[in-house]
Structure 1
Amino acid sequence: MSQTTASSPAPSADPTLVARLRADLEVSGYTVEGVESALGPVAASALHREQALPALRASAPGPTDDAAQPAVLTLTRLFVLGQAVPAVALDAALPSLTAAGAAELGLVALSGEAPQGSQDAEPTARPLVDLRPYAAHDARGPVDWWLASDLGELATGGRLAGDHVLGAGGASITLAQVTVRSPRTRVLDLGTGCGIQALHASRHAQTVVATDISERALRFAAFNAALDGVRLDLRLGSMLEPVAGEEFDLVVSNPPFVITPRRAATDGAGGAEVPSGDDSLPGEIPTYEYRDGGRSGDDLVRDLVTGVGAVLAPGGVAQMLGNWEHRAGEPWTERVGRWLDESGLDGWVIQREVLDPAEYAETWIRDGGTTPEREPEAWAAAYGAWLDDFASRDVEAIGFGILLLRRPLPGEQVTLRRLEEHTGSVRQPLGAHLETSLAAHLWLETLDDAALGAQRLVAAADVTEERFYTPGAADPNIVILRQGDGLGRGVHASTSLSALVGACDGELSVAQIVTAIASIFEVSADDLSAELLPAVRGLVRDGFLAEQG
Structure 2
Amino acid sequence: MTVDLPLLAPGPTARMVTLPGVYVPQHDTRFLMAALDRERIRPGADVLDLGTGSGALAVRAAQLGGRVTAVDIARRAVLTARLNAFLSRQRVTVRRGDLTTAVSHRSYDLVLSNPPYVPAPDAAVPRHGPARAWDAGHDGRALVDRICDVAPRVVRPQGALLLVHSGLCDAGETLRRLERAGMRATVHERALVPFGPVLRSRLPWLRERGLLGVGEDREELVIIRAEHA
**Is TM > 0.5 for Structure 1 vs Structure 2?**
yes
What amino acid does structure 2 have at the position aligned with 1:186? D
Superimposed CA distance per residue, residues 255-295 of structure 1 (whole angstroms, 9 cap, x where no aligned partner): 11112222xxxxxxxxxxx4xxx447xxxxx86232223x3
> Which residue of structure 2 lines up, in the alignment, with residue 173 of structure 1?
30
Mapped partners of 2:125, 2:11: distance in 1 = 37
CA distance 1:298–1:288, change in 2 (3 Å): closer
One-letter code aligned to 1:172: T
Deviation at 1:323, TM superposition (A): 2.3
Three-state SS of the structure 2 residue aligned to 1:310 is helix
Distance 2:27 2:148 in 1: 22
Provide the C-alpha distance between the structure 2 equivalents of 1:221 and 1:396, rounded to a whole number of angstroms.
34
Measured after TM superposition, the shift of residue 324 of structure 1 is 4.3
The question of whether the paired residues in 2 share the 8 Å contact of 1:240 and 1:308 is answered with no
Q: Secondary structure, in 3 states, of the residue corresponding to 2:95?
A: strand
Per-residue CA deviations over 1:380-429 (Å, capped at 9, x if unaligned) read xx4444444x25xxx4677530111112xxxxxx2xxxxxxxxxxxxxxx
Equivalent-residue separation in structure 2 for 1:247 and 1:345 (angstroms): 15
Task: Sort the Cα spacing of 1:305 and 1:317 in 2 relative to 1 into closer, same or farther, 3 A.
Answer: same
Deviation digits for residues 58-107 of structure 1 (CA, Å, limit 9, x no counterpart) = xxxxxxxxxxxxxxxxxxxxxxxxxxxxxxxxxxxxxxxxxxxxxxxxxx
Shift of 1:135: 2.4
2:52 corresponds to: 192
Deviations 1:128-166 (A, max 9, x none): xxxxxx525xxxxxxx9832125xxxxxxxxxxxx6223
Aligned partners of 2:118, 2:224: CA distance in 1, in Å? Answer: 15
Aligned amino acid, residue 297 of structure 1: D
Distance 1:279 1:320, change over 3 A: closer
Partner in structure 1 of residue 190 of structure 2:
352
**Counterpart in the other structure of 1:21:** none
Q: 1:348 to 1:233 in 2, by over 3 A?
A: same
Superposition TM-score, scaled by structure 1 size:
0.35
Q: Deviations over 1:498-527 (max 9, x none)?
A: xxxxxxxxxxxxxxxxxxxxxxxxxxxxxx
Question: How high is the TM-score relative to the length of structure 2?
Answer: 0.77
**Residue in structure 1 matched with residue 120 of structure 2 by the alignment:** 260
1:400 to 207, 221, 229: 221
Q: For residues 175-324 of structure 1, what are the structure 2 equivalents within 5 Å?
A: 175-179=32-36, 180-183=39-42, 184-262=44-122, 274=123, 278-279=124-125, 288-293=131-136, 295-299=137-141, 300-324=143-167
**Residue in 2 aligned with 1:135?**
11
Which ranges of 4 or more aligned residues in structure 1 deviate by more than 3 Å?
324-327, 382-388, 395-399
Query: Structure 1 254/200 Cα, relative in aligned 2: closer, same or farther at 3 Å?
Result: same
Code of the residue aligned with 2:186 in structure 1: it is W
Whichever of the two has the greater Rg, that structure is 1
Identical pairs, percent: 23
Supply the distance in 2 between the matched residues of 1:349 and 1:302 (Cα, whole angstroms). Answer: 16
Query: For the Cα contact (< 8 Å) 2:190–2:222, is it kept in 1?
Result: yes
Match of 1:146 in 2: 15
- Cα distance in 1 for residues equivalent to 2:77 and 2:169: 32
Give the secondary-structure state (helix, strand or coil) at the position aligned to 1:149.
coil
* DSSP-derived class of the 1:234 partner: strand
Unaligned runs of 5+ in 2: 1-5, 214-218
Q: Which amino acid aligns with 1:182?
A: I
Structure with the higher strand share, 1 or 2: 2
Query: Aligned partners of 1:145 and 1:323: how far apart in 2?
Result: 22
